[in-house]
Amino acid sequence: MSEPVIAGVGKKTNWSVLMGAAFIMATSAIGPGFLTQTAFMTEKFLASFGFAVLASIIIDIGAQMNVWRVIAVSRMRGQDVANAVFPGLGHLIAILIVMGGLAFNIGNVGGAGLGLNVLFGMDVNLGACISAAIAIAIFASKDAGRVMDKVAQILGGLMILLTIYAMFAANPPVGEAAVKFFIPDDVGVLMLPIITIVGGTVGGYITFAGGHRLLDAGIVGKESLPDVNRSAVTGVVITGVMRIILFLAALGVVVTMSSKLDPANPAATVFQQAAGPVGYKFFGVVLWCAALTSIIGCAYTSVSFLRSMSKTIDQNNSKVIMAFIIISTLVLVTIGRPATILVFVGSLNGLILPLTLGAMLLGAKNKKIVGDDYEHPTWLLVFGILAVLAAAWAGWMSLQGMANLWK
C-alpha cells in the first residue's frame, strides 16, 4: 500500500492524500466508543464538558503535530523512531498498540453490527460479519490506499452532516455552552474527562494513523512539513467538530428536553429524543459509518506497527490487515466483549500516549533520526513535554477513577 509521490505530480494528488490521512486519523478516533463517551460525559458534566472538549483539541493538535513531523522528517514509522531512541522500545510500543488496537477493533466490529441492527433489524453478529467483509474488500483492492482515503472522507462527512441535523433538532443552549467552553463550573473535576477523551482521540494507534498513511504515500522530508502540519491539524479539527456537534446535541436533549440518556446506549438516546424515529435511523447510519471507518483505520495502523518486525508481514501487508479484521470479527462472534472494554482500553491508550509521544520527542532532538538540517520547533517541543506530563499524571488518575465514573 505504498504510493510514492513523485516530484512534479499535481497538487490534486497530494491534496487527496493529505485529506485522506486527516480523515483516516479522525474517523479512527470517531468510533462507537467516541459516540458513547461523548454522550455519557455530556450528561454527567453538562455545559462544562465543552471546556474538556476544547482542552482536548488543543492537546491533540500538539500531540499530532509532534508525531507527524518526526515521522515525516525521519522517514520512519513510529516504532522505528522509538527503537532508534532506545533499542527495544519500539517493539514494546508495537505490542501495546497492537493489543489495544485488537481490543478496540472487536468493539468497532460490534458497533458496525449494532448499526445495521438499528437500520434493518439485522442480527448483530451477521451485521458485524457483513461490515467486516466490506472492510476486507477495501484492502483486497489493488488501489487499497486511495480507496481507504475516499471511504474515510465520504463516510466521515456523512457522519458529521447527520449529527448536525440531530444537533439542530435538539435545540441546545448554545449561549450557555459558549460561556462554559472557556469558564467551566469546576476545572478540577474535568481533568479525568479531558485525559479520557484525549486517550480516545490521539492515544494508542490513533496518534500514528495519519502519519503512517502519509509515510506510505511518500509525503515525507523537510520540504513536506507544511503539508504534514496542515493534514495533522485538519484531522484534529474534524474530530473536534464531530465532538462539539455531538456534545451540543446531547446537551440539548438533556437540558432543553429534560430527557435522561439510556446508560446502555446514550448516543442512540440523543438522536432518538432529538429527532424521533428518523433520528434513531440516522443514529444507525452514524454508528455504522463510525464503526466501519474505525475498523479500517485501526486495522491499517495496528498492522503498520508490525511491518518493521517481520519482512513477511511487510511484504504481505494487505493480507495481514485482512487477517487482523477477521480475527477481530471471530473474537466478537464467538466470545463477545464486555460492555466496558472500550472505556477501559481508552484509559490504557491515555497511558500509552506519554510513552509514544515521549519517544517521538526524544527522536525529534536526535540528529541521527531527523537529520542535521532539521530543528524541531522549541514551542512544539515544550507543548509536547507538557502533554506527556499531563497525560502521564491524568492517565494514571483516570484508571483509578474509572470505576467511580461509571457508577
What are the pLDDT digits (tens) for 59-74?
888 888 999 999 999 9
Give the rounded percent of residues in the chain with a pLDDT score beyond 90.
Answer: 48
Residue 134 has pLDDT above 90, yes or no: yes
Q: Which CATH superfamily is domain 11-405 in?
A: Amino acid/polyamine transporter I (1.20.1740.10)
pLDDT of residue 5: 36
Per-residue pLDDT band at 14 (split at 50, 70, 90) = confident
Residue 321 has pLDDT above 90, yes or no: yes
Segment among 45-54, 103-112, 352-361, 381-390 with least mean pLDDT: 381-390
Average pLDDT over residues 191-220: 83
Residue 95 has pLDDT above 60, yes or no: yes
What are the pLDDT digits (tens) for 207-232?
888 999 999 888 999 889 999 999 99
Alpha carbons 387 and 201: distance in angstroms, whole number: 14
Segment among 85-89, 152-156, 337-341 with least mean pLDDT: 337-341
> Which grid coordinates are listed for 258?
429534560
Nearest to 380 by CA among 368, 391, 388, 372: 388
Q: What is the 3 state secondary structure string of the chain?
A: CCCCCCCCCCHHHHHHHHHHHHHHHHHHHCCHHHHHHHHHHHHHHHHHHHHHHHHHHHHHHHHHHHHHHHHHHHCCCHHHHHHHHCCCHHHHHHHHHHHHHHHHHHHHHHHHHHHHHHHHCCCHHHHHHHHHHHHHHHHHCCCHHHHHHHHHHHHHHHHHHHHHHHHHHHCCCHHHHHHHHHCCCCCHHHHHHHHHHHHHHHCCCHHHHHHHHHHHCCCCCHHHHHHHHHHHHHHHHHHHHHHHHHHHHHHHHHHHCCCCCCCCCHHHHHHHHHHHHHHHHHHHHHHHHHHHHHHHHHHHHHHHCCCCCCHHHHHCHHHHHHHHHHHHHHHHHHCCCCCCHHHHHHHHHHHHHHHHHHHHHHHHCCHHHHCCCCCCCHHHHHHHHHHHHHHHHHHHHHHHHHHHHCC
> When comparing pLDDT for 33 and 48, which is higher?
48
pLDDT of residue 349: 58
Per-residue pLDDT band at 144 (split at 50, 70, 90) = confident
Nearest to 19 by CA among 142, 105, 110, 148: 148
What are the pLDDT digits (tens) for 248-263?
999 999 998 888 888 8
Residue 136 has pLDDT above 90, yes or no: yes
Average pLDDT over residues 12-38: 85
Residue 87 has pLDDT above 70, yes or no: yes
Per-residue pLDDT band at 28 (split at 50, 70, 90) = confident
Domain ranges of the chain: 11-405
Per-residue pLDDT band at 173 (split at 50, 70, 90) = very high
Whole-prediction pTM value?
0.86
